C-alpha cells in the first residue's frame, strides 16, 4: 500500500434545509435527508483510492448494518479493508449532520464516538506503506497521548510520511502541550482555521503556523475554507486562494483536501503543487451532499485545476 488511513469510521445522517418550525406536536420538515458513510479515516481513504493511491484503512466497525454499509462503500472504492477491526462488541457510530443552505454544517455525536480502538497494536503493518494519515488528532482513537506517541514513533521508525489532520476535542480534551512529545514526528499537520485558533490561541494563520512549528512539526497547512489555505515550514510560506465553486455541503471537504495533499506528495509533487491539487479536491467535495459523493478520480481534479 501507498497509504494507510487511521481513525474513525461512521455513518452520517445528513439533514439539509432543516426548518425549526414544527408542523405538528412532534414533526419537523427538511429539504432532504441522506445517509452517507463518513468519519475522517473513511473519507480520506475513499478519496485517496479514487485518486489512484493504493490505500488501506485501519479502523473499527461494529457488527451491525452501519458497519456493513461502510465496509461495502470502502471496498467499492478499492480501499484495502484487511486492517478493519470487527467483533469488538461496539456499535458503529452514527452522526447527525444539519447542513445549512451555504453548505456549512453542525453535527451531533453520541457515546459510540467515544469508542477508542488501539491502532498502536497494529503498527507492524506500517512497513507495508509509504505514508499514514491520522484522521484525526485529538479525536478517538487519537485522544490518548500514549496511543498518539506509539503510533507516530512507529511510523517514523518505519521511515514513512506522517500526515496528521485535526479535530476539536469532544469527549476528551487535549492540548498541544499534552502531546508535545509526539508532535516532532509529524511531517504535515492540517488543522482548519477554527481548530488552529483553538489549539494555538492565535487569530492569524501566520501566527498559528508559528505555534505549530515551535512544537517541532515540519510543515503546517491551515485550511481556510472559502479563503483557501496557508502553508508554512522552516523554508517558505505562502497562501493559495480557494477555487470558485457553489458549495452545497461542506461535509468531508477537509478530509478530501488532506487525501489530495497526501496523494500528490506521494507522487513527488512540491508542497505548493500538492496544495493546489488539494484545494481542488476540497472544492469538488462541496458540490454534492455527502463526503464521498462528488470526487470521482484524479482526471476530474486536474480538469478543475485547468490542467486537462
Q: What is the mean pLDDT of residues 86-97?
A: 88
Report yes or no on 67 lying in a domain.
yes
Q: Is residue 24 part of a domain?
A: no
Q: Is residue 231 part of a domain?
A: yes
Is the confidence at residue 103, as pLDDT, over 90?
no
Q: Which residues, including other chains, have CB under 8 Å from residue 212's CB and lie 6 or more apart?
A: 176, 189, 191, 196, 199, 200, 220
Residue 307: is its pLDDT beyond 70?
A: no
pLDDT band for position 143 (cuts 50, 70, 90): very high
User: Is 70 exceeded by the pLDDT of residue 308?
Assistant: no
What band does 280 get if pLDDT is binned at 50, 70 and 90? very high
Backbone angles phi, psi at 81, to 5 degrees: -105, 20
Per the model's pLDDT, the better-predicted residue between 252 and 204 turns out to be 204
- Write the Ramachandran bin of 54: left for phi over 0, alpha for psi from -120 to 50, otherwise beta: beta
Domain annotation covers residue 306:
no
Q: Residue 180's pLDDT is what? A: 98
- Give the residue among 283, 233, 216 at the shortest CA–CA distance from 254: 283
For residue 55, pLDDT over 90 is answered with yes
pLDDT of residue 65: 96
Comparing CA positions, the residue from 93, 180, 104 lying closest to residue 140 is 93
Of all residues in the chain, the percent with pLDDT exceeding 90 is 78
With respect to residue 203, please indicate whether it lies within any of the assigned structural domains: yes
CATH number at residue 109: 3.40.1190.20
Evaluate whether residue 48 is within a structural domain.
yes
Domain holding 102, by residue range, is: 3-19+30-301
Degrees, nearest 5: CA angle 34-172-110: 30
Q: Is 60 exceeded by the pLDDT of residue 206?
A: yes
Query: Is 308 contained in some domain?
Result: no
C-alpha span between 128 and 20 (Å, rounded): 50
* 113: pLDDT strictly greater than 90: no
pLDDT at 291: 83
Please give the DSSP secondary-structure letter assigned to residue 190: E
What's the confidence (pLDDT) of residue 80?
98
Q: What is the pLDDT of residue 26?
A: 87
| CB distance 245 to 283 below 8 Å | yes
Q: Quick one: pLDDT at residue 299?
A: 96
Q: Determine the Cα–Cα distance for residues 290 and 250; give it in Å rounded to an integer.
A: 8
Question: How many structural domains are present in the chain?
Answer: 1
The kind and range of the H/E element at 196 are helix 193-200
Which range scores top for mean pLDDT: 28-37, 113-122, 195-204? 195-204
Q: What is the dihedral of CA 144, 149, 152, 157, to 10 degrees?
A: -150
Evaluate if residue 85 carries a pLDDT over 60. Answer: yes
Q: What is the pLDDT of residue 220?
A: 98
Residue 25 counted as domain residue: no
Amino acid at each position: 500500500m501507498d497509504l494507510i488511513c487511521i481513525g474513525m469510521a461512521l455513518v452520517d445522517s445528513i439533514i439539509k434545509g432543516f426548518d425549526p418550525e414544527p408542523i405538528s406536536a412532534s414533526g419537523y420538515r427538511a429539504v432532504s435527508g441522506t445517509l452517507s458513510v463518513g468519519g475522517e479515516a473513511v473519507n480520506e481513504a475513499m478519496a485517496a483510492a479514487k485518486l489512484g493511491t493504493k490505500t488501506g484503512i485501519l479502523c473499527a466497525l461494529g457488527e451491525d448494518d452501519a458497519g456493513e454499509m461502510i465496509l461495502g462503500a470502502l471496498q467499492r472504492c478499492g480501499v484495502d479493508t484487511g486492517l478493519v477491526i470487527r467483533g469488538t462488541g461496539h456499535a458503529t457510530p452514527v452522526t447527525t449532520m444539519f447542513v445549512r443552505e451555504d453548505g456549512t454544517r453542525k453535527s451531533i455525536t453520541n457515546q459510540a464516538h467515544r469508542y477508542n480502538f488501539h491502532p498502536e497494536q497494529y503498527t507492524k503493518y506500517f512497513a507495508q506503506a509509504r505514508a499514514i494519515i491520522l484522521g484525526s488528532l485529538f479525536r478517538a482513537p487519537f485522544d490518548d497521548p500514549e496511543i498518539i506517541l506509539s503510533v507516530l514513533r512507529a511510523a517514523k521508525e518505519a521511515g514513512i510520511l506522517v500526515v496528521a489532520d485535526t479535530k476539536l476535542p469532544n469527549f476528551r480534551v487535549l492540548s498541544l502541550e499534552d502531546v508535545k512529545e509526539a508532535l516532532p514526528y509529524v511531517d504535515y499537520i492540517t488543522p482548519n482555521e477554527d481548530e488552529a485558533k483553538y489549539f494555538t490561541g492565535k487569530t492569524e494563520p501566520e501566527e498559528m503556523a508559528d505555534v505549530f512549528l515551535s512544537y517541532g512539526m515540519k510543515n503546517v497547512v491551515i485550511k481556510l475554507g472559502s479563503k483557501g489555505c496557508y502553508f508554512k515550514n522552516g523554508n517558505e510560506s505562502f497562501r493559495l486562494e480557494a477555487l470558485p465553486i457553489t458549495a452545497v455541503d461542506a461535509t468531508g471537504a477537509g478530509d478530501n483536501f488532506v487525501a489530495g495533499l497526501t496523494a500528490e506528495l506521494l507522487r513527488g509533487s512540491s508542497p505548493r503543487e500538492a496544495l493546489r491539487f488539494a484545494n481542488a479536491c476540497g472544492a469538488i467535495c462541496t458540490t454534492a451532499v455527502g463526503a464521498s459523493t462528488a470526487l470521482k478520480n484524479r482526471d476530474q481534479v486536474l480538469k478543475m485545476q485547468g490542467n486537462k
